[in-house]
């Protein structure tokens, strides 16, 4: 686990995971490119999400709807009217902030300060820490007050109330400490562009800010063509775009990102049980891919959108604290009803058992693929002492990724750069490359080659050494434990098939 996000970004760049977009022009803020190893990691995460939902469930199907959609979609969805973030500028530092994050982060700092003080005081008195003692601390109480006022203003979209909150509570700018703020203004997060060449006829359209609306709009076609019965789900992976006010924290908040969303359509009245079911299933999926239980938690929303019945975030302990990784929302029939109203088309389901039609309710699971990459990279990143070939010790950087996520699954090295080693090594590479992502390297000392692939998260390294020439066995080294075993060449493929079995992983999910 790494707790310094800029070091992780530097590591990811150096090792071919992530690059700032348009680097040679000094980058474009909030946009990143995935390098050769990052793209593998990202594709694997997407694949495991897809297989766990679409392949394994009889009643979940996939969709790939277009990024550009009819502009009325975003009126119906409420995005034209309400997809705004409140922003504010500090007059002293000239820095711009999203007001909700500014206040939330200030509340977190207050809480941390209170916690430290209470712990110190109780330690001096020889008493253990209790949440009750913390709850009495004025800073802690103030943090809770701030959160309540913030939540009320946000759900009422009352920007004046936010301006007052900043003023009355004297929220300081993290940069300058100044409390001299401009009034809070709203800012629509959708990128817009023109469809068509002739200016007068051109239509303003948007880059989609979420993939979900494609699912709602295609609901009747999918229902008909895939012959589905409630409950059923439609899953989609795709790009989304938001003109975020402030982008930072590496790939946590991007302006171009990828979402993996599944809308599960259910009979009204059953949404509660399905919400609980998907909440647990999605947590289980994250854990099954190796995210530690202590790094994951639910955060239920206290203040809900007017159409929502329940909503929770799965939060992950990112290097900068617990933050949203995935959202699970019980959304009633809001979206389908709105699209029915705006399009004039029926978006209903005929329930044979009940002998009537109705608008299904929806439980949504929505995870950011880039945030997922960040979660895995930050948890997997490990620096630890490791023995050198010469009997000494050195610090190694290793990515302890789940084997199914490893960009390169196996690395093959001839111990010495000589024909008798190179030939069997190349032969093994040729045999394995159809089933696995294999790398072959003969340059540098064996120790350096091991380190290089440790940093890419390669779970197994195979060395063709002196003994191979005698008995056709190879050395297989485990990335995490550094443990080495000898394996007959003829057994290598079967061994790897077992280690990387997707079916086994899915069966145990
Ligand atoms: P946040 O509160 O962090 O802005 P959100 O509540 O607006 O997120 P949703 O609209 O619920 O997020 O989107 C679902 C998921 O999409 C989020 O859980 C997150 O993983 C991902 N996501 C949303 N915005 C971004 C972004 N700007 N960059 C990367 N991922 C994002």
Residue 369 Cα to ligand 1 middle (Å): 10
Quick one: pLDDT at residue 199? 67
Work out the number of other CB atoms within 10 angstroms of the CB of residue 161. 16
Ligand 1 neighbours, Cβ below 6 Å, are: 210, 242, 244, 253-254, 257, 259, 324-327, 366-368, 370-371
- What distance in Å separates the CA atoms of residue 225 and residue 484, rounded to the nearest whole number? 53
In this predicted model, what pLDDT tens digit does every residue of 352-409 receive, in sequence order? 999 999 999 999 999 999 999 999 999 999 999 988 877 888 899 999 999 999 999 9
Q: How many CA atoms lie within 13 A of 62 on its CB side?
A: 14
CA–CA gap between residue 426 and residue 476 (Å, rounded)? 16
Query: DSSP secondary structure string, 338-385?
Result: HHHHHH-----EEETTTTEEEPPEEEEEEEEHHHHHHHHHHHHEEEEE
What sign does the CA torsion over 106, 109, 113, 115 have? positive
Residue 258 forms beta bridges with which residues? Answer: 239
- In 16-93, where do the E strands start and end? 18-20, 32-34, 60-63, 84-89
3-class DSSP assignment, residue 89? strand
Q: Which CATH superfamily is domain 408-508 in?
A: Anticodon-binding domain (3.40.50.800)
- Map tokens 């190879």 to a residue: 474
Position 335 scores a pLDDT of: 96
Strand, helix or coil for residue 230: coil
Token match 């939902």: residue? 53
Please tell me the predicted confidence (pLDDT) of residue 406: 98
Decide if 108 contacts 146 (C-beta within 8 A). no
CA nearest 265: which of 307, 285, 235, 237?
Answer: 235
Which pTM value belongs to this model? 0.90
What is the whole-number distance in angstroms between the Cα of residue 416 and the centre of ligand 1? 49
Residue spans of the chain under pLDDT 70: 199-201
Question: Would you tell me which CATH number, out of the four given (3.30.930.10, 3.10.20.740, 3.40.50.1110, 3.90.1300.10), belongs to the domain 39-75+189-382?
Answer: 3.30.930.10
**Three-state SS at 238:** strand
SS3 299: strand
Q: Cα(279) to centroid of ligand 1, in Å?
A: 17
What value does the mean pLDDT of the chain take?
95
- Beta-bridge mates of residue 95: none
Please identify, by atom number, the ligand 1 atom nearest to the C-alpha of residue 259.
16
Going from N- to C-terminal start, the domains of the chain cover: 39-75+189-382, 84-188, 408-508
**CA 59 – CA 55 distance, rounded (Å):** 10
Q: Which of 479, 453, 408 is nearest to 40 (CA)?
A: 408
| Smallest CA separation from ligand 1 atom 21, residue | 368
- 84-188 has which CATH code? 3.30.40.230
pLDDT tens-place string over residues 138-157: 999 999 999 999 999 988 88
Residue nearest to atom 18 of ligand 1 (CA): 326
Which parts of 227-358 fold into alpha helices (H)?
Answer: 271-288, 334-343
What DSSP state is assigned to residue 68?
B
């Amino acid at each position: 686990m790494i707790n310094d996000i800029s070091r992780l970004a530097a590591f990811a760049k150096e090792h071919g995971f992530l690059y700032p977009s348009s680097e040679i022009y000094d980058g474009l803020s909030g946009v990143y490119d995935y390098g050769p190893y990052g793209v593998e990691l990202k594709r694997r995460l997407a694949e495991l999400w897809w297989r766990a939902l679409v392949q394994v469930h009889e009643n979940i199907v996939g969709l790939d709807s277009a990024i550009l959609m009819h502009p009325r979609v975003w009126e119906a969805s409420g995005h034209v009217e309400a997809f705004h973030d409140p922003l504010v500028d500090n007059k002293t530092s000239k820095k711009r902030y999203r007001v909700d994050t500014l206040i939330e982060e200030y509340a977190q700092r207050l809480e941390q300060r209170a916690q430290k003080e209470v712990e110190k005081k109780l330690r001096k008195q020889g008493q253990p820490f209790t949440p009750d003692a913390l709850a009495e601390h004025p800073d802690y109480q103030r943090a809770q007050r701030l959160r309540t006022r913030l939540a009320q203003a946000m759900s009422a979209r009352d920007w004046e109330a936010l301006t007052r909150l900043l003023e009355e509570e004297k929220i300081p700018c993290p940069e300058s400490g100044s409390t001299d703020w401009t009034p809070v203004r709203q800012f629509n997060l959708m990128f817009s562009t023109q469809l068509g060449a002739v200016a007068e006829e051109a239509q303003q359209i948007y880059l989609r800010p979420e993939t979900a609306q494609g699912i709602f709009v295609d609901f009747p076609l999918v229902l008909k063509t895939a012959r589905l019965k409630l409950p059923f789900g439609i899953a989609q992976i795709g790009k989304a775009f938001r003109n975020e006010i402030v982008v930072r924290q590496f790939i946590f908040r991007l302006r171009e990102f990828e979402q993996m969303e599944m809308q599960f359509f259910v009979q009204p009245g059953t949404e509660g049980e399905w919400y609980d079911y998907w909440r647990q299933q999605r947590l289980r999926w994250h854990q099954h891919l190796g995210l530690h239980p202590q790094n994951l938690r639910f955060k239920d929303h206290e203040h809900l959108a007017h159409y929502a019945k329940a909503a929770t975030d799965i939060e992950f302990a990112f290097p900068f604290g617990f933050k949203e990784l995935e959202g699970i929302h019980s959304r009633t029939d809001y979206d389908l009803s709105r699209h029915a109203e705006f399009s004039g088309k029926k978006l209903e389901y005929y329930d044979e058992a009940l002998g009537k039609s109705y608008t299904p309710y929806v439980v949504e699971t929505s995870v950011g693929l880039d945030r997922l990459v960040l979660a895995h990279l930050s948890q997997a990143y490990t620096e630890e002492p490791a023995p050198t070939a010469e009997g000494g010790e050195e610090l190694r950087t290793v990515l302890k990724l789940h084997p199914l996520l490893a960009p390169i699954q196996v690395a093959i090295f001839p111990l010495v750069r000589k024909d008798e080693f190179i030939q069997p090594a190349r032969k093994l590479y040729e045999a394995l490359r159809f089933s696995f992502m294999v790398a072959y390297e003969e340059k540098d000392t064996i120790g350096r080659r091991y380190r290089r692939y440790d940093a890419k998260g390669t779970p197994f390294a195979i060395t063709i050494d002196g003994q191979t020439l005698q008995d056709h066995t190879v050395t297989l080294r485990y990335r995490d434990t550094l443990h080495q075993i000898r394996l007959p060449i003829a057994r290598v493929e079967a061994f790897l098939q077992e280690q990387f079995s997707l079916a086994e992983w899915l069966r145990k999910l």
